[in-house]
Structure 1
Amino acid sequence: MPSLYLHRFSIAFTVVTFLSLCLPFPLSAQYSFDFTEATVDSIQPAFRNRSLTSFQLVRHYLSVIENLNPSLRAVIEVNRPDAMTQAVQADLERERYPYNRNRLHGIPILLKDNIGTADKINTTAGSFALLGSVVSRDSGVVRRLRKVGAVICARPNPYVASASPCGSSSGSAIAAAANLATVTLGTETDGSILCPAAANSVVGIKPTVGLTSRSMVIPISPRQDTIGPICRTVRDAVYVLDAIVGYDVYDSKATKEAVKYIPKGGYRRFLNFDGLRGKRIGILREGFFSKNSVQAKEKIQEYGQLIFLESERTNGINSTVRNVISNMARLSSKGIKTLMKEKHLDKIVTEDSGLGPILAIGGYPGISVPAGYDEKGVPFGICFGGLKGYEPRLIEIAYAFEQATKVRKPPSFKGHQFQIISDL
């Protein structure tokens, strides 16, 4: 992995330099834009008034990645030549027609490495076994992002080095927290968006299964797999969600079933400051496995390693396991659905990602929002979950909570030799 990473950074700037000379406006070395914790809503006005270009923004993030990634190890590969070309193209498009652009136009986005892209970067899910494999087409979500003009920048715990970043989308969460990109995408089968978001003091949205296409995304479970945004703010996450939801012929069964949940006008209209007003909330006071850690550790020590190795020798999912999975899905659906209907709840809430297994098995949506830091400075989040299609009310509640608390703070990176390229 390190050799791949360093190789990508050694690519010359010849193509980019040529393209930059074609721009109809100068790339000034002096500009006043504040990159710290930059959001989509702060970047787009800067694009419009020409105090910032996509070229400058992408180059800034690539510089941050080059400086911080050797320590953070959040990014497996950068898309330097293609990203810079895409950025210049976005600047040219904006110059020709500056009006009515999508909010993600010219915005750098970082993708989890199991999300397929038909370009020069690899899609490996972090495995050397897939290094060099050819992806025949962009994944459904990437196709939608390219359509609105987003820049595919790179592939992915900055607060306390010894703390777990949690989950397979931790690269995306770390990248969002450490300002390695404006927005990022992760995937979830069980907790892989919600847990890293909570552990890294960022916002993660796990959509209803089927709202976002899984085509050309390396799968784990069709019942539970979903793709969602991981960003520094609820608003940015919602902008990304609006861009990636919808029907996809390559994942037709799931997306056709879920498309009915997409609200007319998109999700942005549910970003309301008073979204908590009048909502009924169920509090999950005890998450899964929270009382079993000590007993589980004792039992594991009683067994020999050979028993665990033998347990891995299987022939795949047999009928017994399939029946168990179906039964779990049925119980999860009936349990949470009955609870929420009987109690007239708008959502269920818990600290961190305790709702993860329930939401995963049922294919339900969830949103994790930063909620604070413990005595050691390790972040924790609050997770809001609901039934299929409950994204609008979850967004209302999550946004209202975020605006009322505003506890997120960027990591400090004390002692890190951090230098940004300044003459952009």
Structure 2
Amino acid sequence: MTNKAFKVSYSIMKEKIKAFLGHPMLSNRYVLLGLWLLLALAGLLKYHRSDNNFLIFRGVFWHTVNGTSLYEAYPSEYWDVNHYGPVFSLVIAPFALLPEWAGMLLWLMGLTVWLYAAVYRSGLPRQRQVFIYWFCSMALLTALFMQQFNIAIAAIILSSFYLIEKEHDGWAAFFIVLGTFVKLYGIVGLAFFFFSKHKVRLIMWLAVWSVVLFCAPMVISSPDYIIGQYREWIDCLIGKNTENINSFAQNISLLGLVRRTTGCMTYSDLWLIVPGMLLFALPYLRRSQYKNLAFRETILASVLLFVILFSTGSESSGYIIALLGACIWYMAVPWQRGRWAIALMVFVFILSGMGNSDLIPKAIRHDYIQTYALRALPVSLLWFWLCYEMCTKDYAPTIKKQP
């Protein structure tokens, strides 16, 4: 095929995809919400087959009420242990009080609606929202099958950014602190601090919500118990990080990708984390670009990708966070994306989005994708591309901007 014929075919395919996603039925927000809720119902198919995560979450509430350790093993209740902070006992409380099947169903639906609403309330143009809903659907289903809070983490990071954009710093601080006190990931919301027009107010609200949410679980327990559980939580997270490094189901990150493909297990992850943090921080030096929304949104995309790529705790269900970041990277820029960017997004969707799906043959899924943490490969390439663009491109609005 000649280059000219390829360009014609590429343009035709692109227009067909835009027409498909632009169909009134497929872009209707109520239809999309209904489809996402169907995914939540599909997640219930795992009930009594692999509902272990929900049992752990449910146990956080009851162990808090009963004053027993949140971080010990309870083989008679579930396998594995809890790794979430004490404040999670209040998050899960409404679902823990219900019969198990009803609690799990509403938990899955609640997570789904939370992320759906975060995208809808972000203020992104409608076409971008539709693209996110469709592109992230498979990753959402994977997370729902695992009943994972990572769906809410994606919503929390997204909400933190757009609430700061809308100058609702008090609520942005609430989500940052909530995400931090539940799973630590929420702390990355502080990356948006420099974009706040009310930095002192944001700091004050961060302090207020830190005190409120630290003390909140004491309502269903006692101060001594909660303080003790926070100490246990810190010890638990330190031990968990060591376990994650060589875990098959964890460390599905850039860190894990490098370890598993090279076969070298003796070095410290700091050799990758420190350069990664420097590369992440480099675009912040371009203060002249802060005024451009596209630049700030690309920082958001970088945050969503970074939290997965540089965490040993990254797991399959966490890729809903990374795919949300990929969508924002692709759509935020004021220039027209070319075919290489589209090819990369297809690569991201197939390998990072569907890499844990039964649609991939088991031999490939287990022996290659999981064994070598290959789900991290496409989003790693995307993040490096993103970093290059943020250090070199002008994000000022143009007359014709990609929808």
More helix by share: 2
Query: TM-score over 0.5 for the alignment?
Result: no
TM-score of the two chains, using structure 1 as the length reference? 0.27
More strand by share: 1
TM-score of the two chains, using structure 2 as the length reference? 0.28
